[in-house]
A and B are shown apart, each in its own frame.
Chain A
């Protein structure tokens, strides 16, 4: 089945370490997104990409960077992790055009000690 996958699913790291979270999709969608979920704060957009050559900052991009390596791959990096980046991270994809459903990956639970 066409799907959205994320690696790793869980990660514990230390303050100051560089971390990369990876997202892959087999849906053939052009658009990809990275969200952060914190209890009581909902889903907040970190970065998004509407095609391979397009990268845009979202609501909370400070401390994060992204790379769109191919249509199917979108990676999120924390250059120097800090404890308040402890959260559940979701990748999502959608088709281009209007009124398109976003399909989420299974999430990566990141803990920064």
Chain B
């Protein structure tokens, strides 16, 4: 089955800096890579996703890049703000319509004012 490794486990930045979280996956057939954000005491929520036919996707201050050859994908947050502080989970799946997500272990991002 799929295995997803996520790094770093914690990341501390100053407000306004950029943050990068990296994930690697094991199954070269995986084709869908979502990112979920979990604020303290809250439920995880989808913030961005990317499909394997795309190398990069942006949504305002967040972007995700995918390198299929190396089997890794990354979340980039620019101009970080205190409200970006949360745990971020990457996930991967072979989206055949009958598959499930495999999540990474999460990255706790702390943005200091």
Residues of A within 8 A of B (CB): 33, 40-45, 48, 50, 58-59, 90, 96-99, 101-102, 104-107
Please name all residues of chain A whose beta carbon is closer than 8 Å to the beta carbon of B106 when the two chains form the complex. 40, 42-43
Majority secondary structure of chain B interface residues (helix, strand, loop or mixed): loop
Q: What is the CA–CA distance of A105 and B43 in the complex, to the nearest angstrom?
A: 6
Q: What is the CA–CA distance of A81 and B51 in the complex, to the nearest angstrom?
A: 40
Task: Give 21 pairs: A residue, B residue, CB < 8 Å, sorted on A.
Answer: A40-B106, A41-B105, A43-B89, A43-B103, A44-B103, A45-B101, A59-B1, A96-B97, A98-B32, A98-B95, A98-B96, A99-B32, A99-B51, A101-B34, A101-B49, A102-B36, A102-B101, A104-B44, A104-B45, A105-B43, A106-B42
* Band of interface residues on B: 20 to 34
Please name all residues of chain B whose beta carbon is closer than 8 Å to the beta carbon of A105 when the two chains form the complex. 43
- Interface residues in B74-96 (C-beta closer than 8 Å to A): 89, 95-96
Q: Does chain A have a CB within 8 A of B9?
A: yes
In the complex the two chains form, is B44's CB within 8 Å of A90's CB? Answer: yes
- Interface residues in B10-38 (C-beta closer than 8 Å to A): 32, 34, 36
Q: What is the CA–CA distance of A101 and B49 in the complex, to the nearest angstrom?
A: 9
Knowing A42-B106, A99-B49, A101-B34, the reply to whether A48 touches B100 (Cβ < 8 A) is: yes
In the complex the two chains form, is B43's CB within 8 Å of A106's CB? Answer: yes
Residues of B within 8 A of A (CB): 1, 6, 9, 32, 34, 36, 42-46, 49, 51, 89, 95-98, 100-106
In the complex the two chains form, is A99's CB within 8 Å of B100's CB? Answer: no
Knowing A40-B9, A42-B106, the reply to whether A58 touches B95 (Cβ < 8 A) is: no
Please name all residues of chain B whose beta carbon is closer than 8 Å to the beta carbon of A96 when the two chains form the complex. 97
In the complex the two chains form, is B44's CB within 8 Å of A33's CB? Answer: no
Which of A97, A101, A107 lies in contact with B46, CB distance below 8 A? A101
Which of B32, B34, B43, B104 lies in contact with A90, CB distance below 8 A? B43
- Nearest CB of chain B from residue A95's CB, rounded to whole Å: 11
In the complex the two chains form, is A42's CB within 8 Å of B97's CB? Answer: no
Please name all residues of chain A whose beta carbon is closer than 8 Å to the beta carbon of B43 when the two chains form the complex. 90, 104-107
